[in-house]
Amino acid sequence: MDQIEHKFIKVQGLNLHIAEAGADAHVVVFLHGFPEIWYSWRHQMVGVATAGFRAIAPDCRGYGLSDPPAEPEKTSFQDMVDDLLAILDHLGLAKVFLVAKDFGALTAYMFAIQHQERVSGVITLGVPILPPGPIEFHKYLPEGFYISRWQEPGRAEADFGRLDAKTVVRNIYILFSRSEIPIAPENKEIMDLVSDSTPLPPWFTEEDLAAYGALYEKSGFRTALQVPYRTLRENFSTPEVIAVKVPALLIMGDKDYFLKFPGIEDYIRSGKAKDLVPNLEIIHLPEGSHFVQEQSPEEVNQLILTFLNKHV
């Protein structure tokens, strides 16, 4: 961790926080998901930097140490794509590898579709490129589906507001590390699904939780609820694309709850995702959870480095 440096750059009127490690060689940009920030890539940043790459991990606007937008409720995935382009331009980076997790995978593939000439390759963890069109998993799941609950204005705010930021992150990490989709019964909220006595996942320390808690204490959850969750409700559609032709890798934990989303496991295992990304390689980790990069950092680092070295 000592080799990771921090700075702020101003893009699109916001001061965005950037964590960096490694020499000015081939560049790898890490895009976090929720409830994460740059810190979720700590193991991978050190791993690729030690292997001779330059690692860059921004906090998305409104996350961690980055400024929130003036109107968080108007933030979109396109803003995240535009921020990424502005970061690359600010740093003078002509072409990079993208490594993304969770909703960061949507940003990465949108960027690769719009700016394919700036991308050397894409690695996503837990989420493949999704078929064009609206994302409507909620139509096939009960009312207590966590995304449906968090899309409802005010409901997550009230649920999270009963707890401090550190406890909210703790509960979400515990829920998302399980292999079942978080679904609350009618008379409970999502935070009620975790008791005070439930232990953290063994690979996630109290020190890690404290780091997340401090950063979400600063940023709050206002932008995070908008992107990804509420943006998905507001007529968001994954873009039309003939093919993303850059090299790509999907690292999929077989115990990731996202596999239980309607149609996702068949979409991945049948190879349909390769219709949109013909140069896609898919690697399954049998014990992998939603947080596979933190759960099994050495294994994931080796998969990432093998891909990077193959395509530099």
Q: Are 34 and 228 in contact (CB under 8 A)?
A: yes
Dihedral angle over CA of 64, 249, 133, 178, nearest 10? -60
Q: What percent of the chain has pLDDT over 90?
A: 88
b/e per residue 23-42 (b: at least 16 CB within 10 A)? eeebbbbbbbbbbbbbbbbb
pLDDT at 237 over 70: no
- Predicted pLDDT of residue 143: 95
Which structure tokens are listed for 309? 């070295």
Whole-angstrom Cα distance, residue 74 to residue 231?
A: 9
Q: Answer yes or no: 102 catalytic.
A: yes
229 is catalytic: yes
Superfamily of domain 5-310 in the CATH hierarchy:
Alpha/Beta hydrolase fold, catalytic domain (3.40.50.1820)
Q: Phi, psi at residue 174, to the nearest 5°?
A: -65, -45
Q: What is the pLDDT of residues 54-111, one digit of tens each?
A: 999 999 999 999 999 999 999 999 999 999 999 999 999 999 999 999 999 999 999 9
Domain boundaries, the chain: 5-310
Question: How confident is the model over 112-133, as a mean pLDDT?
Answer: 93
DSSP 137-183: GGGGS-TTBHHHHHHSTTHHHHHHHTS-HHHHHHHHHHHHTSSS--B
Catalytic residue selected from 102, 159, 208, 256:
102
What is the pLDDT confidence band of residue 51, given thresholds at 50, 70 and 90? very high
Joined tokens for residue 168: 């909210």
SS3 state of residue 4: coil
CA angle 67, 68, 71 (to 5 degrees): 145
For the beta carbon of residue 236, count every other beta carbon within 10 angstroms. 17
Contact status, residue 94 vs residue 65, Cβ threshold 8 Å: no
58 touches 72 (CB < 8 A): no
pLDDT of amino acid 74: 92
pLDDT of residue 286: 98
Predicted confidence at residue 234, as pLDDT, reads 58
Catalytic residue among 173, 212, 216, 229: 229
Q: Is the pLDDT score of 176 beyond 70?
A: yes
